[in-house]
Each structure stands twice: as structure tokens, then as C-alpha cells.
Amino acid sequence: MAQTRLDVLSCVEHERLAFELLEVRTRGQYLTQLRGISREEQAEWDRRERAALALLVDHELEHGCGR
Ligand SMILES: [Zn+2]
């Protein structure tokens, strides 16, 4: 039961990609709340978030560590 969770946690690359995605999301939300960003900036953050998510999903599919 706990084994599955440990396997996922032991994948350093997955952890790194998940952290990057979280960071992009957090930063984008923080900036939006802090000063209200322009539509262009919002689009840029959306693009970065999608790119980070795509990397994570690709890694999970390739490595099989997502589930
Ligand atoms: Zn992995």
C-alpha cells in the first residue's frame, strides 16, 4: 500500500518536474493577485504552465511513475 507511494516519491525527475509545475502555478497566481497582470502576461504564464504540465505528463507516460 505505502509501497506505491514510495515508488513515486523515489523518482527524482518526477519530483523535479512536479515542483516546477507547482512553482509556475504559484508564481502566476501570486503575480495575478499581487498587481493584476496584463492579458499578454497571463497568456505567457498559461503557456508556461501548459509546457510544465506537458513535461510532467510525458515523463509519467514514458517512465510509468505517474500511478
Ligand atoms: Zn519518473
Burial class (CB in 10 A: 0-12, 13-18, 19+), 63: exposed
DSSP string, 17-65: HHHHHHHHHHHHHHHHHHH---HHHHHHHHHHHHHHHHHHHHHHHHH--
The answer on pLDDT for 41 being more than 60 is yes
33 CA from centroid of ligand 1 (Å): 33
pLDDT exceeding 90 applies to what percent of the chain? 73
| Higher pLDDT, residue 50 or 66 | 50
> Ligand 1 centre and the CA of 47: distance in Å?
23
Q: 0.85 exceeded by the pTM?
A: no
Provide the pLDDT for residue 54.
Answer: 97
Amino acid, single-letter form, for residue 20: E
> For residue 57, what are the domain limits?
2-63
Distance between Cα 17 and ligand 1 center (Å): 9
Residue 30, pLDDT > 90, answer yes
The number of domains in the chain is 1
